[in-house]
Amino acid sequence: MNSEPRLAQSLVEPALAEAALFVESTLDALLPRTVGPEQRLLKAMRYAAIGGGKRLRGFLVLQSGRLFGVDRRALGRVAAAVECVHAYSLVHDDLPAMDNDDLRRGKPTVHREFDEATAILAGDGLLTLAFGLLAEPDAHGDPFVRCDLVARLAHVAGHAGMVGGQMIDMEFEGKMPALPEITRLQRMKTAALITYCCEAGAIMGKASQPLRSALCNYGQELGLAFQIADDLLDAEGDAEAMGKKTRKDDGRGKSTVVSVLGAERAHAQANALAAQAVRHLDLFDEKADLLRAAAEFAVTRRA
Amino acid sequence: MNSEPRLAQSLVEPALAEAALFVESTLDALLPRTVGPEQRLLKAMRYAAIGGGKRLRGFLVLQSGRLFGVDRRALGRVAAAVECVHAYSLVHDDLPAMDNDDLRRGKPTVHREFDEATAILAGDGLLTLAFGLLAEPDAHGDPFVRCDLVARLAHVAGHAGMVGGQMIDMEFEGKMPALPEITRLQRMKTAALITYCCEAGAIMGKASQPLRSALCNYGQELGLAFQIADDLLDAEGDAEAMGKKTRKDDGRGKSTVVSVLGAERAHAQANALAAQAVRHLDLFDEKADLLRAAAEFAVTRRA
């Protein structure tokens, strides 16, 4: 996988940048804006969701939907919903009672910029908004599809996915979980939503079960590879390029694939996962080349 | 309205008790239970959602659905979803960064019994679960109906409803908002979800627009009446009967209808709202008698 990292980069970076612009403008249009006594909340929701982030998740929704010719406006809406869920999870994970982080995407975290109560509420508002975006007709003409999008999102975001993963992450602090336990945690905390992004395009395109499963499997391996790459960047990267504090895991006594396997074997593991992810796309023609390149990009990126 | 409070009480109390049992057992069946490292989360979600509360919201879902002959199992599921959303809102509102309450439904609040991080995550998990419960086929056979249930819940629970209302409630602390501002806050924070409960039965029963609107109007007035009654109980009630701290509003510099109008005029206002609520039910026959009685009960209850 590592043979042509620059090719992957040259393919993926402009597509990611284009997706980021599209997702940002969609979020800007969909996020509320009023001048009532609740405007502090709405400002915090915008602050959390707009203006930053790689938008890898939105990109994956757009690309997976493109495989089935799904309408781009609808994809933008679903991508925005996913980015709202991602943003909510960052806001809540950053809270003093959780990871207590001051910096995110190169700016103060929401509870630092506003306050703790506003951050909790902004997260709640973004999560709730996401479900509303998916349930309304603009997300898809077929209500079966919309229900599927909502039900699957609730599954990957809830106790069996992201929320459960964050709980486990906190429970493991200062402990020495084994690799399978860490992998289960990462599947729930990170890979579940990334998998959902890839599945969403298939749901919206009413893909056959084999194609939908292939995209799920791709997303699952990609998500795990992405998380290991993230942990490597945390261990080796510099805070300025990352836009957030680095070497946090060590300081907090968090076990990661990197701390258990060491950097070299973790690199190899991430590459192996990315290669597996690409193999799951064998059912697709060259339309899936950007997704293939994204798997490589996920493990070779520098921020 | 106050002429026969004991009649309303004798009608509503057994029906509320029966609804509470049904909603509790449905929640018990629907809430997750596992023995992984995330069990702390699942215990906290159960602790927050099961074992307490009047279940007025669940009762309203059951009663509004009964008007249209909606399947009771499906109503139980939707009632459980609404109670999950209500429980999540209490857990987050009770957090130290918000209202910092130690007691709820006669037991320690979730962040007291567990810890703050677990309370935040348990709230997130309950909110997310609610949307999943509504989107899955067991909630209703028609996906249009399920989407409607999800979209409306997202609306009343989000920035334009409960989350926005809680933000305004915090913004108003120590200030002197006028009555219309307080009313708008209460519409968002409390009445929106109560309105949803009444609308949910109409949605599930595919009621005509006039009947659906009538139930919404009933719920809106009932919700406002209920909140004034709650504020009166806070000002006048005793903590033991309420199962939570009383006289909180005063201590926190919160303005309520009671603090603005005084207890006597607030009582009159609550009664007037309850009477208005009942008038919105004129389109319904005696099948709606329990809802009529519930409006009176809401303003004459002692806890």
Q: Work out the average pLDDT over B81-107.
A: 96
Cα A290 to Cα A285: distance, rounded to the nearest angstrom: 11
Share of residues in chain A with pLDDT > 70 (%): 94
Q: ipTM score here?
A: 0.95
User: Do A99 and A248 contact (CB within 8 A), yes or no?
Assistant: yes
What pLDDT is recorded for position A2? 46
Interface contact A120-B117, CB threshold 8 A: no
Percent of chain A with pLDDT over 90: 84
A95-121 per-position pLDDT tens digit: 999 999 999 988 999 999 999 999 999
Q: What gap in Å lies between CA A182 and CA A174, rounded to an integer?
A: 13
Q: Is B247 left (phi over 0), alpha (psi -120 to 50) or beta?
A: left
Look at the block and give the residue holding tokens 């919206």. A204
Condensed to tens digits (0 to 9), the pLDDT of residues B171-220 reads 999 999 999 999 999 999 999 999 999 999 999 999 999 999 999 999 99
* Cα–Cα dist B189/B6, whole Å: 29
Contact predicate B158/A128, CB 8 Å: yes
- Match 């309850």 to its residue by tokens: B274
Interface size A-B, in CB pairs within 8 Å, comes to 170
Question: A 243-302 residues with CB below 8 A of B?
Answer: none
Q: What does the alpha-carbon distance between residue B207 and residue B215 come to, in Å, rounded to a whole number? A: 10
Query: Which residues of chain A from 96 to 115 reach within 8 Å of chain B, CB to CB?
Result: 97-98, 115
For the entire predicted model, the pTM comes to 0.96
Pick B167's closest partner by Cβ from A41, A146, A165: A41
Distance from B117 to chain A by nearest Cα, in Å? Answer: 5
Q: Which one, of A255, A127, A251, lies nearest residue A186 by Cα?
A: A255
CB contact under 8 A, B159 and A125: yes
Q: Domains of chain B (ranges plus CATH)? A: 5-300 (1.10.600.10)
Question: Quick one: pLDDT band at residue B165, thresholds 50, 70, 90?
Answer: very high
Pairing state between β A107-108 and A103-104: antiparallel
End-to-end CA distance of chain B: 19
Of B41, B97, B177, Cβ closest to residue A159 = B41
**Any B CB within 8 A of A174 CB:** no
Please state the separation of Cα B121 from the chain's center in Å: 21
Residues facing A104 on adjacent strands: A107
- Indicate yes or no: CB of B163 within 8 angstroms of CB of A136: no
B131, closest residue in chain A (CA to CA): A154
Structural contact between residues A195 and A56, judged by C-beta atoms closer than 8 angstroms: no
Instruction: Report the gap between the CA of A282 and the closest CA in chain B (Å).
Output: 32
Give the count of alpha carbons within 13 A of A188, CB side only.
Answer: 20
CB contact under 8 A, B159 and A118: no
- CA of B6: how far to CAs of A82, B226, B253, B268, in Å? 51, 17, 34, 18
In this complex, do B135 and A154 lie within 8 Å of one another by their Cβ atoms?
yes
Chain A positions in Cβ-Cβ contact with residue B80 (cut-off 8 Å): none
Which segments within chain A are labelled E, that is strand? Answer: 103-104, 107-108
B positions 24-63 inside 8 Å of A (CB): 32, 36-38, 40-42, 45
- Report the C-alpha dihedral over residues A75, A77, A81, A86, rounded to 10 degrees: 60
What's the pLDDT tens digit per position in B23-78? 999 999 999 998 889 999 999 999 999 988 889 999 999 999 999 999 999 999 99
Q: How confident is the model over A37-55, as a mean pLDDT? A: 95
pLDDT of residue B301: 82
DSSP tag of B190: I
Q: Which two tokens stand for residue B120?
A: 């935040």
How far are the Cα atoms of A268, B38, B209 from residue A231, in angstroms, in the given order? 13, 22, 54
